[in-house]
Amino acid sequence: MKRTPKEVEDSARLVTRRGAVLGGVQLLFMGGLALRMRQMQVEEADEYRLLAEENRINMRLIPPARGVIYDRNGVPIADNSQNYRIIIVREDAGDVEEVVRRLKRLVPLDENDLERALRELERRSPFVPVTLADRLSWEDFSRVASNAPALPGITPDVGLSRHYPMAEDFAHIVGYVGPVSDYDLSRIEDPDPLLQIPKFQIGKVGVETKLEDRLRGKAGTRRIEVNAAGRVMRELGRDPGIPGVDLQLTTDWRLQNFAQARLANESAAAVVMDVETGDLLAMASAPAFDPNKFVRGISSRDYGELTANTYRPLANKTVQGTYPPGSTFKMMTGLAALKAGVMGPEETVWCPGHFQLGRRRFHCWKRGGHGHVSFDKAIVQSCDTYFYEASRRLGIDPIEEMCREFGLGERFDLPISAVAEGLIPSVKWKAQVRGETWRPGDTINASIGQGYVLTSPLQLAVMTARLATGRKVMPRLVKSIDGLETEIAPTEPVNVPAHLMEMTRRAMYRVSNSDRGTARRSRIVEASMEMAGKTGTSQVRNITAAERAAGVFKNEDLPWERRDHGLFVCYAPFDRPKYAVSVVVEHGGGGSSAAAPPARDILLFALYGGIPPVEAYPSDQRERMRTMYEELVLRDPPDPGPSRSRA
């Protein structure tokens, strides 16, 4: 149909209006786009340039060198060794199986470690490096490095790993490090970013964990350029960070090694303490374990062997173990009674071999009794009946107060795991904790270190040091931090009259040196080094009336776990005390036979600074001691390692 001229004209005007509108919209859009582009390129250019740089530059943390731990002589007992390892990058390796097959021809690879590494390789991005093997020998490391062109994706690398050159000797004191776990992170409110690094290691027990924050140091940083996929292109710079502080402990590696060797084949503990400074020179817990096995992650088999051992090698018996102190406790009961005036210094008690309290009979260890016994004789011959009577007159609370004066029942602030408080009972304690009334029989049991009383070898060493000096010496384990000496706690006199302290020391001297003393067989005959001490035997089982009537079983006739604990505390030289020693032998039998001999040997080693001459022993023991020392396996001096400058 033919359109009229008017229709053609109207249609042309409509198209022109639409074109104008569309053109206007296009112009408006282009104008807005141009304005936005100008704003981004000119006015906001610096902001977008910074964002681009931040996307391109990443910061990576560099683990700092962990602080070294030394003994009092500057010998390293926890240091950092070079760790030669092999790293693989999956995208560079291509055929991973083929590369690993070639690698196994060059160096031995642990199949379990290799399997874990390959699983990790599959989980991670192809450009992330994964450790295939570590702790290689220099020869194996060099062999891989020289064959690197034939091993695509393989990189020999060198890092630092914790090393314990004294192995078992300091395991319970220093502890060990291990990889950060989810449990570790859950206990920390504001975790250090370092802890997020895969396989980063922190202290797990001992000094390593108690002083973790200071030993760890501060992280360094690497500035690296990455592409859009996150792949590292190049390193732009690095800050090495700040290494952890170096610690020097009060312990002596030679004495510690000797104490561990002397207690071998026993479940036992020994503590050696400087009576003037409180320095802990040795804290041996036997048996021990090799902390180096925990650094990489101990195998299930090795860990199972440790946990299944009835001698409990993982427990630090010096501070964690608490035992009835037996007769080593009698000085506390006696001093409390003498100070309170309920017993006179020369007063005697009749010992027929037992003590009657109502209808209950408490037996003395000597079935026939000791006859008339004074305080001195009661300590020397370890008569139980004297202390039964003293405690009956006195009551438990004055005994508890005396124990606090000498450090029993106190949890000392040392950087070691699981330091126990022990237990010194009182009337109030039993009412609050057990909801029961204190009974006179409880006091009788406590008077000879049985019943509820529990003490640690550390506490017994502190008690002995305070008996030797008459001052409240405090134990110290850290000698210096980064070369700065730590404070020696000021001491004050114990609240006991001097003449009673001297009476107690004389009695302890006679324990070791008189004809009737319970530790005479373990005396020191060198006049300048004579020892004062006290034996102790603590029961771990009840003796029935029927057994007592028929004859009490000898310890050697009982299963190991039912035998008595043997204890001994001592100090020397008697006239100018220098060192105090406590020894506990679990289920060892009598204190005089099980604990006194090793305590005497450890004390002599400390006094002489090495293997003591056999002339310090009674003449009838010298040949036996000479043979024992010839057969004793001691450690050679560890490599001092490289010094580290902190400039």
pLDDT digits (tens, 9 = 90+) for 289-299: 999 999 877 88
- Predicted confidence at residue 643, as pLDDT, reads 45
**Widest CA span in the chain:** 151
- Predicted confidence at residue 161, as pLDDT, reads 86
CATH code of the region 60-249: 3.90.1310.10
* Cis? peptide before 287, omega within 30° of 0: yes
Q: Going by C-beta distance under 8 Å and a sequence separation of 6 or more, which residues neighbour residue 227?
A: 233
On whether the CB atoms of residues 474 and 412 are closer than 8 A, the answer is: yes
142-156, 328-342, 550-564, 565-579: segment of lowest average pLDDT: 550-564
Encoded amino acid at 447, one letter: S
Pairing assessment for the beta strands 565-572 and 532-538 based on DSSP bridges:
antiparallel
User: Does residue 468 register a pLDDT over 60?
Assistant: yes
DSSP H or E stretch at residue 304: helix 300-308
Tokens of 290: 């090799």
User: How many whole angstroms separate alpha carbon 361 and alpha carbon 366?
Assistant: 14
Is the model more confident about 463 or about 180? 463
Tokens of 154: 């393989």
Tokens of 151: 């091993």
pLDDT digits (tens, 9 = 90+) for 343-356: 999 999 999 999 99
Nearest of 90, 349, 63 to residue 215 by alpha carbon:
63
Residue 502, exposed/middle/buried by CB under 10 A (0-12, 13-18, 19+)? exposed
User: Does residue 229 register a pLDDT over 60?
Assistant: no
3 state DSSP class of 474: coil
* Cis? peptide before 640, omega within 30° of 0: no
Is the model more confident about 198 or about 373? 373
On whether the CB atoms of residues 155 and 89 are closer than 8 A, the answer is: yes
Q: What is the mean pLDDT of the chain?
A: 88
CATH superfamily of 253-288+305-477+492-631: DD-peptidase/beta-lactamase superfamily (3.40.710.10)
User: How many whole angstroms separate alpha carbon 541 and alpha carbon 632?
Assistant: 34
User: Does residue 227 register a pLDDT over 70?
Assistant: no
| Domain layout of the chain by residue ranges | 60-249, 253-288+305-477+492-631
3 state DSSP class of 77: strand
User: How many whole angstroms separate alpha carbon 598 and alpha carbon 62?
Assistant: 48
Q: Going by C-beta distance under 8 Å and a sequence separation of 6 or more, which residues neighbour residue 104?
A: none
User: Does residue 487 register a pLDDT over 60?
Assistant: yes
- Predicted confidence at residue 2, as pLDDT, reads 61
**Residues in a beta bridge with 534:** 569
Residues 602, 608, 611, 617, Cα dihedral to 10°:
-70
Nearest of 231, 246, 195, 178 to residue 61 by alpha carbon:
195
Mean pLDDT of 164-173: 96
User: How many whole angstroms separate alpha carbon 556 and alpha carbon 50?
Assistant: 81
432-446, 494-508, 528-542, 552-566: segment of lowest average pLDDT: 552-566
Q: Give the active site residue among 161, 267, 285, 327.
A: 327
- Predicted confidence at residue 179, as pLDDT, reads 81
On whether the CB atoms of residues 545 and 360 are closer than 8 A, the answer is: no
**Residues in a beta bridge with 323:** 455
Alpha helices in 329-476 (DSSP H): 330-340, 375-380, 384-394, 396-405, 427-429, 440-447, 457-469
- Predicted confidence at residue 645, as pLDDT, reads 39
Selection from 13-17, 94-98, 201-205 with the highest mean pLDDT: 201-205
pLDDT digits (tens, 9 = 90+) for 587-634: 999 999 999 999 999 999 999 999 999 999 999 999 999 999 999 999
Instruction: Name the band, by pLDDT with cuts 50, 70 and 90, for residue 236.
Output: confident
- Predicted confidence at residue 148, as pLDDT, reads 78
User: Does residue 269 register a pLDDT over 60?
Assistant: yes
Kindly state the percentage of the chain with pLDDT values over 70: 86
User: How many whole angstroms separate alpha carbon 517 and alpha carbon 379?
Assistant: 9
Pairing assessment for the beta strands 69-70 and 247-249 based on DSSP bridges:
parallel
On whether the CB atoms of residues 563 and 555 are closer than 8 A, the answer is: yes
User: Does residue 173 register a pLDDT over 80?
Assistant: yes
Tokens of 561: 């776990």
- Predicted confidence at residue 272, as pLDDT, reads 98
User: How many whole angstroms separate alpha carbon 535 and alpha carbon 592?
Assistant: 6
User: How many whole angstroms separate alpha carbon 64 and alpha carbon 232?
Assistant: 22
In order of 144, 252, 315, the CA distances from 256 in angstroms are 40, 6, 17
Q: Beta-strand (E) ranges in 261-405?
A: 268-274, 280-286, 349-351, 354-357, 360-363, 371-373
Active site residue 327: yes
On whether the CB atoms of residues 222 and 235 are closer than 8 A, the answer is: yes
pLDDT digits (tens, 9 = 90+) for 16-34: 766 666 767 777 777 777 7
Q: Beta-strand (E) ranges in 117-153?
A: 129-136
Q: Going by C-beta distance under 8 Å and a sequence separation of 6 or more, which residues neighbour residue 69?
A: 76, 77, 78, 79, 174, 207, 208, 215, 246, 247, 248, 249
Residue 395, exposed/middle/buried by CB under 10 A (0-12, 13-18, 19+)? middle
User: Does residue 380 register a pLDDT over 90?
Assistant: yes
User: Does residue 507 register a pLDDT over 50?
Assistant: yes
Tokens of 606: 């400390």
User: Does residue 107 register a pLDDT over 90?
Assistant: no
User: How many whole angstroms separate alpha carbon 397 and alpha carbon 391?
Assistant: 10
Q: Beta-strand (E) ranges in 240-342?
A: 247-249, 268-274, 280-286
